[in-house]
Structure 1
Amino acid sequence: MNTSASWLLAPVFALLLSGCAAVGAGSGGAGEMEIRSGKIEQITLTQMQTNHDSGVGAILGGLAGVGIGSLIGNGTGRDVAMVAGALAGAAGGNYAEKKHYDQPQQAQQVIVRVKSGVLVSVTQPINPALSKGSNVYIEGSGNEARVVPQS
């Protein structure tokens, strides 16, 4: 009796727990995005910092440093040269990546008056299709928000 009761209760508990789970709760569901519409009030040219921080430069520099270090000496000295080469290469590769890719890029700050009368400001890469007075959509929110023309 005890074993059959546990076999019957297990599916009931699983059904109750699955009813409590909500897919994409609070975000409108998977794959959905908030879209607002309005009219551009102002466009100002500015710069925005890139968020390119992949670490590829450090990895490639470290690997190159290990390769060069392995050509020096033998035994324990070789191991030390490989570690020192890896550290120096990683630091150099990271510096080179930041120097090349972390430069500010041209952007535009777009101020849109949405249908409710609220002003929304979005800073994004330059979109030449946008101009003052254009009807636009604001897709997304926060740092992922983008202003796109209505077609």
Structure 2
Amino acid sequence: MSFSLDTPSPATLKAEARALRAERDKAGTPITHSAALEEVAHRHGYRDWNTAHAALPDRIATPAQVGQRVKGHYLGQPFTGLVIGLKLLSDPNYFEVTVKFDTPVDVARSTLFNAFRHRVVATIDIHGVSPAKTSDGNPHMRMRRA
């Protein structure tokens, strides 16, 4: 079997299973985690979870993938956007992400002028949180999959 950049990792399928459980809980039809894993494996064309896990390549988990929609806060301002670049840094705990915002984000805290950003490059960890902080202690960026 050949793999492409579109081939999910076991970590991606586990995240899908967690999202499926949350969706079902919200709808009032809760399922177990193992049932969610089995359903996600079936959706991806595998006989069961064990077959999917054995067949999929182990890869480094990433906070997002290029082409994926994300949302969050950048310098305290809410945003939605598209990941147009993702690079693993020399410290494997951090990534450099490039996000193109759907609508420009005004990062100036002053009412005297505006500083709109259409695209930003930030360092984030696996959870989508920037290690760099603003003067009030908040991360420069908090991002998650939309």
TM-score, normalising length: structure 1: 0.21
Larger Rg: 1
Q: Which has the higher strand share?
A: 2
TM-score, normalising length: structure 2: 0.21
